[in-house]
Amino acid sequence: MLLPVFLLLFPGANAWDAPSSAESCGRCHRAIYENWKTSGHAQAMESPLFQNVLQRAEADFPADGRQVCLGCHAPIASQANGLTDEGVTCDYCHSIQQVTFDGPNPKAVVIFSNAKTGPLDDAVSAPHKNVYSAVYATAAICAPCHEHRNAAGFPVLTTYSEWKDGPYGKAGRTCQSCHMARTAGNVADPRVSHTATAMINLHEMPGTHSVDHLAKAIQARISTVRQGRQLKVTVELANEGAGHYFPTGSPLRQLVLELQVDSAGGQHFREQRLYARQVADQHGTVPKREHFAFLKAVSLVSDTRLAPGERRAESFLFPIPEGDPAKLEATLWYYYSPLAKTESQTRVAFLTLRRSVP
């Protein structure tokens, strides 16, 4: 039974007892639907990266692997045949009544009915009722899938608590302010329903699969100084745009700073700095596969990630004497999963800095 992150309640025997498909929602909410289709929520189940992990989880942990994964990547999988492939679908999010924090993990209370919940208190609709819920204006709506303790009680996902304890959470700046920016638009297609233009949240929800979003999160600059027969290179990094640690989410995600230095005299250097949250199982082994990290992690080994608002300077020394010009290239890579099947699934470069030193 798939109930790791939400509680399903069914109010009565009618046509709305089962969740609707996103496509059916899109018949009226066309612009929102088209926006959602490009999102990580829409691709949560069918992305090749997730399918790769799911196959391994099912093979290694037949009893728990699928349940733990689908609890967030296809939260209505056990209740709606045929809708599993839709991932985090419209009717799941807009049937949430509240989010509770009285257990080991945040839990969404979900009621499928003809009343759809949302952040607008003046919405009018003929096909279904609209119910305003204050939870949509808070980060709590994101917590059930972005905060998770495994069966051993170890906090594998800590994005929500990172936000809550950081400057964004303390200032009341919610997840939606970055990942669901607001814009003027029609809640329903004007050809279907005549509604006044409102400020609505964009549903593409950009995150780590958006190069633009990554570039907004991390800022960097490079500087150099000659020290006798050595060249000192300093790369300053700042987590200026993420309200949580960077990277966040799965412990296997990594931020890598790669610095390449080539001198005119023929010397070539390449160095890296790694930013990640490393966990271990009960034997002290650091998992190299995501599903092992989720299911078997019991302790934190190290955490070198960038905290929200943090600035950090990385210094490198190279034996390049004065009079030997050099070219520098610093690249920031975001690693999704070291064991992905293709290069594009494994990593993406989102920021490159170049500098010539005379």
113 inside domain: yes
Verify that 223 and 178 share a domain, yes or no.
no
∠ CA 142-40-43, rounded to 5°: 125
d(CA 75, CA 88): 6
317 inside domain: yes
Given a cut of 70, whether residue 116 has pLDDT beyond it is: yes
339 inside domain: yes
Range of the domain at 333: 211-357
Q: What is the CATH number of the domain that holds 282?
A: 2.60.40.10
pLDDT average, residue stretch 116-140:
85
* Residues pairing with 329 in the sheet: 260, 354
Verify that 136 and 267 share a domain, yes or no.
no
Instruction: Indicate the pLDDT class of residue 182, thresholds 50, 70 and 90.
Output: confident
Verify that 178 and 266 share a domain, yes or no.
no
Instruction: Indicate the pLDDT class of residue 5, thresholds 50, 70 and 90.
Output: low
pLDDT in tens, 260-272: 999 999 999 999 9
Verify that 224 and 133 share a domain, yes or no.
no
Beta strand 311-318 with 182-185: parallel, antiparallel or unpaired? unpaired
pLDDT in tens, 221-251: 999 999 989 999 999 999 999 999 999 999 9
Verify that 192 and 216 share a domain, yes or no.
no
pLDDT in tens, 209-225: 889 999 999 999 999 99
- Of 134, 167, 201, the last residue of a domain is 201
Q: What percent of the chain is predicted at pLDDT more than 90?
A: 67
The reported pLDDT for the residue numbered 195 is 56
Given a cut of 60, whether residue 10 has pLDDT beyond it is: no
Contact partners, residue 126, CB within 8 Å, separation at least 6: 193
pLDDT in tens, 324-344: 999 999 999 999 876 677 777
Verify that 135 and 216 share a domain, yes or no.
no
When divided into structural domains, the chain yields a total of 2
Q: How far lies 313's CA from each of 25, 234, 269, 306, in Å?
A: 48, 6, 19, 11
- Of 152, 171, 201, the last residue of a domain is 201
338 inside domain: yes
68 inside domain: yes
Verify that 224 and 182 share a domain, yes or no.
no
pLDDT in tens, 282-315: 999 999 999 999 999 999 999 999 999 999 999 9
Verify that 252 and 343 share a domain, yes or no.
yes
Verify that 156 and 226 share a domain, yes or no.
no
Mean pLDDT score across all residues of the chain: 88
Verify that 245 and 340 share a domain, yes or no.
yes
206 inside domain: no
The reported pLDDT for the residue numbered 13 is 33
Instruction: Indicate the pLDDT class of residue 104, thresholds 50, 70 and 90.
Output: very high
The reported pLDDT for the residue numbered 189 is 62
Instruction: Indicate the pLDDT class of residue 3, thresholds 50, 70 and 90.
Output: very low
1 inside domain: no
Q: What percent of the chain is predicted at pLDDT more than 70?
A: 87
Instruction: Indicate the pLDDT class of residue 346, thresholds 50, 70 and 90.
Output: confident
The reported pLDDT for the residue numbered 162 is 98
Token match 């594009």: residue? Answer: 344
- Of 201, 226, 246, the last residue of a domain is 201
Instruction: Indicate the pLDDT class of residue 125, thresholds 50, 70 and 90.
Output: low
Verify that 31 and 89 share a domain, yes or no.
yes
The reported pLDDT for the residue numbered 141 is 96
Verify that 230 and 153 share a domain, yes or no.
no
336 inside domain: yes
The reported pLDDT for the residue numbered 336 is 87
